[in-house]
Amino acid sequence: MTDRYAIIGNPISQTKSPALQTAFAEQCGQDMVYGAILGELDGFAAAVREFQKSGGKGMNITMPFKLEAFALADELTPRGRAAGAINMFTLRADGTVLGDNTDGFGIVRDITHNLGRRLEGARVLLLGAGGAVRGALLPLLDEQPAEIFVANRTASKAVELAAEFGPHAGAVRLAGGGFADIAGRFDVIINGSASSMTNEVPPLPAGVWSEGSLAYDMAYKKEPTAFVQAARAAGVGQTADGLGMVVEQGAECFTLWRGMRPDTAPVIAALRGA
């Protein structure tokens, strides 16, 4: 019997998940189908339960349901709990739901595997203090950079976020503040703020990046984001948007559901070409 999976969100027409998961299934010879569900804003839990009752094996969750997914899960993985938001359900045969967050894994995998950047010992600057940055923090800390500084327009939110994840930091110097508190050059600058959605660039001080830096935008568009354009104009040698992150987080979901890891390179290339 063909196994069923789906992504739920509102809106949902923009999602690339069905194309990703279908490509992974074909590559790995898996008998599964993956669809998209437009969830009613007041009917998320009911839609999940209906899909599970009908035999669904797993779901991805996108906006605006990631916080509801966190509350609905019967069990959470450590990274899902730390993120405070869930983008993946494993729907168990006993009727329970395991919640996870693979977004942070996706960005780390894209940076280290696809882009070939070493995070261990690096100075990392994280821009923003919302759900995207929260989801990335624990996987980034696991890579043992020398330092992570979280910068946000509202400095107090960055300070609070850094303090919350302090117990997970170990030897990593983890701190937060406003954009005016950013000091020195960073090896990796990750934009997890909403600025790219409004075609803006965070107000970064001069000298924050150099030719040897990586400027990474979690957002992606058909054309380079404003953040990527600004980095290139400043002479940054390596830039990337979040398309690889999207593919890698989807591959992590597939791996957890199906027990095998797909090759993401041809899928990323196909999406770039499209």
CATH number of the CATH domain containing 147: 3.40.50.720
User: Could you tell me if 232 and 116 lie in one domain?
Assistant: yes
Same domain, 79 and 108: no
Model confidence, pTM: 0.92
Task: Give yes or no: 66 in active site.
Answer: yes
Among residues 90, 110, 106, 109, which one has the least CA distance to residue 98? 90
Question: In sequence order, what are the residues at sequence separation of 6 or more whose Cβ sits closer than 8 angstroms to the Cβ of residue 143?
Answer: 108, 112, 119, 120
User: Is residue 274 pLDDT above 80, yes or no?
Assistant: no
pLDDT at 14: 83
Range of the domain at 119: 104-240
Q: Say if residue 110 is in the same domain as residue 232.
A: yes
In this prediction, residue 176 carries a pLDDT of 98
Instruction: Report the pLDDT value the prediction gives residue 221, as an integer from 0 to 100.
Output: 82
The annotated binding site is made up of 15-17, 62, 87, 103, 128-132, 152-157, 218, 220, 242, 249
Rounded Cα distance between 175 and 152, Å, is: 12
Model confidence at 98, pLDDT cuts 50, 70, 90, reads very high
Give Cβ neighbours of residue 233 (< 8 Å, ≥ 6 apart): none
Question: Do 159 and 220 belong together in one domain?
Answer: yes
Pair (56, 85) in one structural domain: yes
Q: Of the listed 57, 66, 221, 222, which one is catalytic?
A: 66
**Same-domain pairing of 169 and 188:** yes
- In this prediction, residues 221-229 reach a mean pLDDT of 91
Domain count, the chain: 2
- What is the chain's mean pLDDT, rounded? 95
Binding-site positions for shikimate read: 15-17, 62, 87, 103, 220, 249
Does one domain contain both 109 and 232?
A: yes
47: domain CATH number?
3.40.50.10860
What mean pLDDT do residues 127-135 have?
A: 89
The identity of residue 130, as a single letter, is G
Contacts 24+ apart (CB under 8 A), 65-71: 65/8, 65/9, 65/10, 65/39, 66/131, 68/44, 69/44, 69/99, 70/99
- Integer Cα distance of 72 and 48 in angstroms: 9
pLDDT band at residue 211, thresholds of 50, 70 and 90? very high
pLDDT for 196: 79
Looking at the structure, tell me whether residues 221 and 269 fall in a common domain: no
One domain, residues 120 and 216: yes
Annotated binding-site residues for NADP(+) read 128-132, 152-157, 218, 242
Max Cα-Cα span within the chain = 58
Residue 114 shares a structural domain with residue 224? yes
Same domain, 205 and 267: no
Q: Quick one: 109 and 236 in the same domain?
A: yes
Average pLDDT over residues 205-224: 92
Q: Please give the pLDDT value at position 199.
A: 85
